[in-house]
Structure 1
Amino acid sequence: MAAGAPRIFVSHLSGVAVFDPAGDQVGRVRDLVVMLRVGQRPPRLLGLVVELATRRRIFLPMTRVTAIQSGQVITTGVLNVRRFEQRPTERLVFGELLDRRVVLTETGEEVTVLDLSVHQLPARREWEIDRVFVRKGRKGSAFRRAKGEALTVEWTAVTGFSLEEQGQGAENLLATFEQLRPADLANVLHHLSPKRRAEVAAALDDDRLADVLEELPEDDQIEILGKLQEERAADVLEAMDPDDAADLLGELPTDEQERLLSLMQPGDAADMRRLMSYEDRTAGGLMTTEPIVLRPDATVADALARVRNPDLSPALAAQVYVCRPPDETPTGKYLGTVHFQRLLREPPPSLVSSILDSDLQPLDPDADLPAIAGFFATYDMVAAPVVDDSGSLLGAVTVDDVLDHMLPEDWRETEFHLAEEEVATDGS
């Protein structure tokens, strides 16, 4: 990169694509690694934490960055695919420096760090942080953004980065990652320190935290839930998919389960208890109690309106289940399934009862995992109804729940290892 390159604010680097010299994308920037130095010397930017397509995080030294321009990072093409491990002398910019409360040296006033800028030193391949974008005034919260003058100052004009805070905020870190999918944000949280992970979880709204919890390893789920106030923990569990919430509750001590269930809405608590009554790795234990259920007199237009719900997973939106009243699980008599593709081919005024797939046998709640997997493979399904002996629809099992339970228990923690040999042997 040419000497005298303009400074770059780190918030503009979050999620930026990283390319090799041939123009092939190798990953995305997830954080920056700096080393704090003695006295007032600006921190040196050591490199970037890059997430590969396999979601494996590696370290890309700045000496292998040839350009940062037009919303992309260009590398020399030589990557060390060893998993990134933070050293004691290193700090993560997004994970540890943003939202920190520091002090303006001249006035002694506390300010909040909103952003940092980096630049390349003239005639060298070394980078450092040179300026800090801060906001004066009281610290904000997850629900109320602090007001006050914002200004950019030299790194030497503030102190406090070397001290570990007890109550570091999270709003700017969350703003940096607000466009991430829940699985990717879960990956970010998994790599934060327990202290920082708790701060970020506390700042997320209930629905967002629920989505992220569903994507985290079990140990992280329990840790985060345990650090929430019980009333909020119950609210988050209610916002989760019922089957995932029941799985998480099942990992807690019995007395803690009962306390949380007593704080939930009666209907949600009843769903949790019903799901927890089934054996693990059975259709009853894997199902969600919130599939799309319609009465026989509903129209295709009604069904399509329900399918359009953006909160539904693609698997649950793939089909609707037609039942006699009541239409909350457990329902009245299950009549059959209507697949999404069939809905698209029929006139909107048509009744769903006229286009049922009634030949497909539903799953028994006691069906075990091999039987469920065989059902999905045989009929090329992404979701399947679960019906009891009385003919009532209890819920639906989706293919993602089947995969979750067929993979090793610690697959979320070890997923970076899955492609290690393949990546190492292809010469990348």
Structure 2
Amino acid sequence: MNDKYSTTAQAEKLSHKQLLAKQWKSIDWKRAEQEVNRLQIRIVKATQAKHTNTVKRLQYLLTHSFYAKALAVRRVTTNKGKKTAGIDGELWTTPAQKMEALLSLTDKGYKASPLRRVYIDKKGKKKKRPLGIPTMYDRAMQALYALALEPIAETTADTKSFGFRKGRSCQDACEYIFTALSRKASPQWILEGDIKGCFDNISHDWLLENIPMDKSILKQFLKAGFVFKGELFPTEDGTPQGGIISPILANMALDGLQQVLSDRFHTNRLGKIDLRFKNSHKVNLVRYADDFIVTAATQEIALEAKELIREFLLGRGLELSEEKTLVTHINDGFDLLGWNFRKYKGKLIVKPSKNSIQTVIGKFSETILKRGKAWEQEVLIMKLNQQIRGWTNYHQSVCASEAFSYLDYQLYELLWRWAKRRHPKKGRDSDHVR
């Protein structure tokens, strides 16, 4: 008798899963994108018109929309982190699991789980940086609310902010910097900004007071805490690196900096933009996430800009790093986003930075001499080509021929060492090397 009920229950469970899978596969993704985009456009228009209540109503409609939930689940199950679980160990891999997740997404009684804390290598540095990995459910909730917050963030963003924004890239930032600094009459001084642990230190009070979204949901995202080595730690400040909504929150916290500089260096006593002030001070901000530079006509103006930025950041719980925030002459050059910008005899040259070159050589060495020491030649070539293509594509728009030649030489030396290990009896001039 029990076996009969057990078999029936299993059949019903299987049938339910099949139904869920069928529902997921039948979602009209084109229509989903159109419906969400339509609501996002309305949010943009309401934001521009400063109709706060309308914005809130439209955000509510979007975050409770079936199609928005579907897109949120699809995003977290197709991005790079889809195979990385949070503290619950759960992954959504099957169509049935995805549909079940979609139907379960709700703000009613929502409580975020603590993040799983891991440490990853910091780009070009020996230090590691913390990464908080939310559960799949929390990621989907963040993706859902990001759909409602992003239109506002884009509408109110600084025009010279290039990081984590649709249709903008590092190359766009590079192009703008080149335009701002390449002429004879261009600014000669650069303030290189470095914010101490930006993502880790943004004030929760500032975010809860200023970010236009459901405060109870935002509080759950911010106050979830994290688990490391089996111990639970609270989060009092910051927005975790690893969260889908974190880049939007960080951008919104730093937006407004351009206006602060403009008010001081571009406007007259009547509060109007005055080209005489703008052209004499030559102050321009270029920001990519928490990396930024400010151009200036003189060293004194650059230092004054630094103090204004310090005050701006203070209200957000942030501060500049004294050691890394530098005022530099363009003839001495500066690094940003993996490039070095410097004038040689009055001509601005942009090329891969030394740090970027050393970092990629380190990656090649890791691939060839450590991870690849037991690989077949074909596998090693495939892996290396992926890395080479990524690096060269990133730097193809700047003066990189010298760097490419140097990397070519370094690759030859590393591959020679690999080949020598595999074929110790062969000489450097043997046919298999050439």
- For Structure 1 versus Structure 2, the TM-score category normalised by the shorter chain is under 0.3
Taking structure 1 as the reference length, what is the TM-score of the superposition? 0.25
| More strand per residue | 1
| More helix per residue | 2
Taking structure 2 as the reference length, what is the TM-score of the superposition? 0.25
User: Which fold has the larger relative contact order, with Cα–Cα distance below 8 Å and residues 6 or more apart in sequence?
Assistant: 2
